[in-house]
Homo-oligomer: A and B are copies of this chain.
Amino acid sequence: MAKLLDAGAQVFATKGFHAARVDDIVKAAQTSHGTFYLYFPNKEALFRALAEDVAAQMEGLSESLGPVTPDEAGKSELRAWLARFSEVYERSGAVIGAWTAAETGDSEVGRIGTELLGGFAVMLSRRISGGTPDGVEPAVAAMALVAMIERYQYYALSGMVRADRDAVLDTLAGVTHAALFGAVAGAPVRAS
């Protein structure tokens, strides 16, 4: 039921998986405990439903990244993709955030998130055209950058950092692109 999914997304986002009470969710959904268990066999099932929904959106996102070349076009491609990622994250990032909060060793729940992010990294490393700076393992770099992207959005979402959207996208794209390929020689450099 949609009401429950919405309520769950909101409550899990606010309090995390463990601290979220079924009671909180049914109150937010303006329904009853009975109804909750009519649609979901248990609390984790609702969480998984949300997670799978997000995973599907992310799956699509994964495929939407074109080749990331070392030139400006590659950076733009990256930025555009980050913009789409950001949008999904704004809608459902709460659940993604809760994933990591679904604490290690947790019955399956954490696994979904893990696999999803791993998938992104694989995808990203596949899209990299050109080379990487000396000493940089593409697989490791891709994973690290995915970590950065996800985490930074999480910080932004949770109010930990406040920065305007465009600056964030420019910076993440710039950082990621530079990280992968190094700045184009002769590119303008801002004095710090």
Contact = CB atoms under 8 A, between A and B. Distances in A.
A184 interface: yes
A192 interface: yes
B186 A183 contact: no
Interface in A150-171: 150-152, 154-155, 158, 160-161, 163, 167-168, 170-171
Contacts of A5: none
Chain A interface category by residue count: 35 or more
A19 interface: yes
Interface string A85-114: 000000000000110110111100000001
A154 to B, nearest CB: 8
B100 A171 contact: no
Interface string A1-22: 0000000000001111111000
Interface of A: 13-19, 97-98, 100-101, 103-106, 114, 117-118, 128-141, 143-145, 147-148, 150-152, 154-155, 158, 160-161, 163, 167-168, 170-176, 178-192
